[in-house]
């Protein structure tokens, strides 16, 4: 019984097509707004996103309201904050890595950091996502 090496063919290289691809600043901003809105459970229109240069990489600055249960309900049922990720500060800190990964994956850009500024609260009924 002889053993023969099985060779799998190399995948064909994608053909090079003349031209260029460009992602506009507005597309980057809209993507960041959508990623942050989805993560926090707010509308994209409520999210302000700004990119700045950070030593050759892009830094993303987000400003948005943080959704929280009505304060009277939160006072009566303090455990409601636990499923949402804890305090406003803890939730903002936890969100950075996920938003950075989502924006980088969708746009192909390398971000150096994500800064989140909470500019208010948005009242939601029930659990906060």
Does pTM surpass 0.85?
no
Q: Report the C-alpha gap between 84 and 90 in whole angstroms.
A: 10
Strand 57-68 and strand 111-123: pairing? Answer: parallel
Q: What is the band of 37 on the pLDDT scale with cuts at 50, 70, 90?
A: very high
pLDDT digits (tens, 9 = 90+) for 47-70: 999 999 999 999 999 999 998 777
Sheet holding 48-54, edge to edge: 48-54, 57-68, 111-123
As a residue count, the chain comes to 129
Per residue, the 3-state secondary structure of 73-118, as one string, reads HHHHCHHHHCCCCCCHHHHHHHHHHHHHHHHHHHHCCCEEEEEEEE
* pLDDT exceeds 70 at position 7: no
pLDDT band, residue 126 (cuts 50/70/90): very low
Percent of the chain with pLDDT over 70: 78
Distance CA 59, CA 90 (A): 20
Split at pLDDT 50, 70, 90, the class of 12 is: low
């Amino acid at each position: 019984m002889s053993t023969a090496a099985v060779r799998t063919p190399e995948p064909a290289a994608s053909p090079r097509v003349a031209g260029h691809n460009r992602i506009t600043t507005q597309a980057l901003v809209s993507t960041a707004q959508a990623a942050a809105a989805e993560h926090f459970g707010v509308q994209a229109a409520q999210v302000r996103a700004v990119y700045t240069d950070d030593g050759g990489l892009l830094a993303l600055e987000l400003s948005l309201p943080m959704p929280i249960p009505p304060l009277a309900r939160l006072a009566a049922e303090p455990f409601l904050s636990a499923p949402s990720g804890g305090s406003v500060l803890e939730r903002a800190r936890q969100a950075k890595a996920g938003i950075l990964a989502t924006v980088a994956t969708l746009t192909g850009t390398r971000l150096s950091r994500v800064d989140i500024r909470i500019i208010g609260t948005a009242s939601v009924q029930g659990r906060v996502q």
